[in-house]
Structure 1
Amino acid sequence: MLDMIDGSIVNTALPAIGRDLPATPVGLQWTVSAYMLGFASTLIVAGHLGDRYGRKMLFLTGVALFLVTSATSAAAGDIVQLVTSRALQGVAAASLLPQVLGSLRVMFDDNERGKAFALYGAIAGIATAAGVLLGGVLTDWNLFGWGWRTIFAVNIPLALVVLVLGAWLIPSSRENATGPVNLGGNLILAGSLVAIVLPLVEGRANGWPLWGWACLSAGVLALVGSACYESRRGVEHPLLPVALFAKPAFTAGLLIQLFFYAGMSGFFLVFTIWLQSGQGYSPTRAGLLMVAFSAGSMFGAPAVDPLVAKIGRGTLILGAVIMAAGLFWVRFQIGDADTSHAGAWPLVPGLLLAGIGLIFLVIPLVNTVLSVVPAQFAGGASGILSTAQQFGGAVGVAVIGNVFFGRTQHHGLTDAMVHAATWAIGAYVVCAVLCLALPRKAVGNQPNSI
């Protein structure tokens, strides 16, 4: 819950953060993107470290770091301090999350494991919805006069409880891994991801300078070069196994993961800002409205397994189309609304539809993609897919955020929101097309993604 809540809790507090620190639109984008980049850069190597040195130790270390970075985020005196703390908070979240799933695999036998992962999935869904709502409620309540800072301060007592219970109850586990951990490769991966996102966030404010294009190109080349180097040198634990990318279904699945989370993260960033800064919604009201999205996912979840059994990859295509349709409904209502006020209820059907589309796409995606991956690459493939999820979110915040903020000054918030929503809708149209490259039916029994 700590990780999932903090992935979404900041969105409804962004306008308040922007006013208080104060922060530019670029600073607000970094507040979201920094967490995702820290997470994406650390996730794969954290899984390897937990396997090797003990999952319990890495888990407790991650929780302790999460506690500290939550405190520094709450105490941030300017946007630079907040962004730095958020990046380290993402590192902490990525350090603990693989240990949770790895521990569940060894704590339960085959009959119990499915129930454990189902409970994990339910908690993840509840936490994501709770984060959106808590961000608004805690900001509005202004406990102790802390305002938005309480969205981070609330983690401190929670993390303390997790530390005590974790040290007491969680069993120690590790794998019999050999060979060095690929720390150098992880540093290259982290640098590459930052190099790609940096010009996307900063470019518009700086007039798209030459250094930005050079930085973007260097990031992409570094990723490709690192993968090729690992393949030629026979690195024991490659972060980016070239053999995986030779499979079109895996590459398509990776792109779907990236576009999916880019569209979702980018859309909800600008949507919450539009609701509060453009339509006068309180943070609590904005958070309550977006619970409709999570409700759609809960309503749609029971239908996923029967649909996958019947139409296979068609479920994913249907999910992408429904999500695009839901966001198109929201876009239409925004464009059709009075420029001074948009009622909440006309937006709810679109958000419910989008939530249903999300669950139709996200639940079967990982297993469908991993069904084409050889067993020896399953763990690495899971890590890459999860990294693409966080990296895609950071890219979406940068790109869709730039579309939105680039039009607000001359065209107003509502016009900017309409154009930003179009980009998010386009991301799901791309997802629907890419789904055609996936296998019609998933085969094999693959492990859950980290």
Structure 2
Amino acid sequence: MAIDTSSLPSTRRRWYAVGVLMAAFMVDLVSVTIVNVALPSIERDLDANPTQLEWISAGYLLAFAVTLITAARLGDQVGRKRVFLASTALFGLASLACALAPDTTTLIAARLVQGIAAAGVAPQVLSTVYAVFGARERATVFGIWGFVAGLSQAVGLVLGGVLVSADVAGLGWRSIFLIFVPVTAAVVAFGAAWVPETRAENAARPKPIAALTLTAALVAIVLPLLEGARLGWPAWCWLCLAAGLVGVVGVAVQERNDPAAMLPLDLLRVRTVSIALVIQLVAFGTCSGLLLVLALWMQNGLGLSPLAAGLVTVALPLGALPTAPFVGRLTLRLGRWTVGLGCLVITLAIALLVPAALSTPDVALWQLVPGLALIGAGINLTMPSLTTLFMAEVPPHHAASASGIISTGQQFAGALGVALLGAVFFGQLGGDGDYREAFLATTVTAAAALAVCVPLFLGMSSQRPK
């Protein structure tokens, strides 16, 4: 791995670089949760329909998912610093476009560009840290990283509530995007000075045709799920779904003998790998969709302000923090049972929200906190252990592809969860605005999905990671 060490001659400056990289990483994460809090305000201001609200959230995740693998390979080949700086600058410009959007179509388009830019940032951040730090320092960095990830989600929820409620200079929800403009400008300036340039030797070249085919296939799967209910599920929705599935399978089959395949078939045949991807799809997708629904239910159904809704929802990421120091050791000791425990905790936690749904609109906010905190704890038990067990079963020659697949799968799961749970929520809401029935149907659906997911962990390898 080639590193231009002249740009970072000291340990101090390496840690300066980590600060810049973490700031960019935080921006990516904050931009997901900060928008959820603002969705009801966007709905009123731009007269957005339910499908458009889902696209504002899911579009970012989907664009992130379909661009991630290509962006990682591009950074390996042409230089991670170069791609990092260009992507961060693009994120800032897209954020400005979001803030100035005159209508929902423009906002959705700008959010898609934001997602593409975020996908350009994320893999360069992790790869650069891996390249410039030794194993001992790297462990420290990634330990800080886990804390920052949890904190970022909380910051997004609170900051979104503060900015929308404060209505600074009459900007309302637009301020949640505008705030990223100076932050990304600072990241670009300091990144140019402190982040080192690294590349991967013999890096696999990006494959435009395979990448475009996979992108089109994933979009074809999510598009009818977002639009189908509103349009009455016409024939093209089912054809689109079928074409998307065929496209994903086609990419895997076409590249079956390629050592740098985006979707290696022999890797996907590994039982633990395939089951881990299914569990991730259900667990992360369910929680992502639930966050969208929670924001709309609390503000439109319960009449909470954006700030109050953000402060209540922050229980979810804060609930994850106490489990963070123990997940690694639990995974080493319990193996796949850690995943099962995490899924069970999320299922029970979502079930705890059912009484609140039945009490709508007369809900005591304290009723929500235990369930949300346990969802956070369950996610933190499930996702890191799932990734560890997934990577432990991956053959060394597929390590890079596997990392891209699980990261892409997580973002795609988020988009899919928003589409499916959003469809349940808005379908029950109907024209009469019955938030009680809508939120009840969503929580029951989410709990049922996780309950089905719980026993899947038994199909994973019983070997504990070493």
Q: Aligning the two structures, in what range does the TM-score lie when normalised by the shorter sequence?
A: over 0.9
1:178 is displaced (CA, Å) by 5.3
Report the 3-state secondary structure (helix = DSSP H, G, I; strand = E; otherwise coil) of the residue aligned with 2:324: helix
Q: Distance in 2 between matches of 1:44 and 1:173?
A: 17
Which residue of structure 2 lines up, in the alignment, with residue 448 of structure 1? none
Please name the residue that 1:128 is paired with: 153
Partner of 1:58 in structure 2?
A: 83
Query: Equivalent residues in 2 for 1:47-196 (5 A)?
Result: 47-177=72-202, 180-196=205-221
- The residue type paired with residue 352 of structure 2 is W
TM-score, normalised to structure 1, is 0.95
Give deviations 1:247-288, integer Å, cap 9, x for gaps: 111000111111112101111111110000000000000000
Quick check: 1:357 aligned with 2:347? no
Q: Structure 1 residue 265 and structure 2 residue 295: aligned?
A: no
* Unaligned ranges ≥5, structure 2: 1-25
Structure 1 gap ranges (5+)? 445-450
Find the aligned partners of 2:372 and 2:304 in 1 and give their Cα distance.
17
Between the aligned partners of 1:51 and 1:33, the Cα distance in structure 2 is 28
Equivalent of residue 460 in structure 2, options 438, 441, 449: 438
Residues in 2 aligned to 1:402 and 1:178: alpha-carbon distance in whole angstroms: 41
Identity of aligned residues (%): 39
Q: 2:418 aligns with which of 397, 408, 412?
A: 397
* Cα distance in 2, alignment partners of residues 430 and 111 from structure 1: 40
- 2:86 and 2:398 map into 1 onto residues whose CA distance is 27
Indicate the residue corresponding to 1:421 in structure 2: 443
Deviation at 1:7, TM superposition (A): 1.5
1:331 CA displacement: 1.7
Question: 3-state SS of the aligned residue for 1:302?
Answer: coil
Distance in 2 separating the partners of 1:10 and 1:122: 21
Partner Cα distance (1:163, 1:95) in 2 = 14
* CA deviations over 1:320-361 (Å, ceiling 9, x no partner): 1011101100122321x2x33212101111111111111111
Question: What is the root-mean-square deviation in Å for CA atoms of aligned residues?
Answer: 1.3
1:343 aligned residue: 364
* Post-superposition offset of 1:317: 0.6
Contact 1:367 1:442 in 2 (8 A): no
Query: For residues 358 and 69 of structure 1, do their structure 2 counterparts lie closer, same or farther at Cα, with a shift above 3 Å needed?
Result: same
- In structure 1, the partner of 2:20 is none
Give the letter for the 2:119 counterpart.
Answer: A
Task: Give the stretch that moved more between structures: 298-307 or 309-318.
Answer: 298-307
1:243 aligned residue (266, 286, 306): 266
Q: Note if 1:256 corresponds to 2:317.
A: no
CA offset digits 1:382-422 (Å, max 9, x no partner): 11111111111111111110111011125711111011111
CA contact (8 A) 2:147 2:321 kept: no
**Which deviates more, 311-320 or 19-28?**
311-320
In structure 1, the partner of 2:238 is 213
Matching residue of 1:370: 391
1:408 partner letter = L
Return the alpha-carbon distance in structure 1 between the equivalents of residues 386 and 240 of structure 2: 32
Q: What is aligned with 1:287?
A: 310
The amino acid that maps onto 1:90 is G
CA contact (8 A) 2:333 2:464 kept: no
The answer as to whether partners of 1:179 and 1:236 remain within 8 angstroms in 2 is no
Return the match for 1:382 from 403, 427, 431. 403
Q: 1:179 to 1:141 in 2, by over 3 A?
A: closer
1:443 match: secondary structure = coil
Instruction: Give the drift of 1:138.
Output: 0.8
Q: TM-score, normalised by structure 2?
A: 0.92
> What amino acid is aligned across from residue 396 of structure 1 in structure 2?
G
| Distance (Å, rounded) in 2 between the aligned partners of 1:20 and 1:434 | 43
Q: CA separation in 2, counterparts of 1:363 and 1:179? A: 27
Residue number in structure 2 paired with 1:275: 298
Q: String of CA shifts for 1:143-196, please: whole Å, max 9, x gaps.
A: 111100011000001001100110000111001225642121111111111100
Instruction: Find the aligned partners of 1:327 and 1:108 in 2 and give their Cα distance.
Output: 40
Contact 2:73 2:204 in 1 (8 A): no
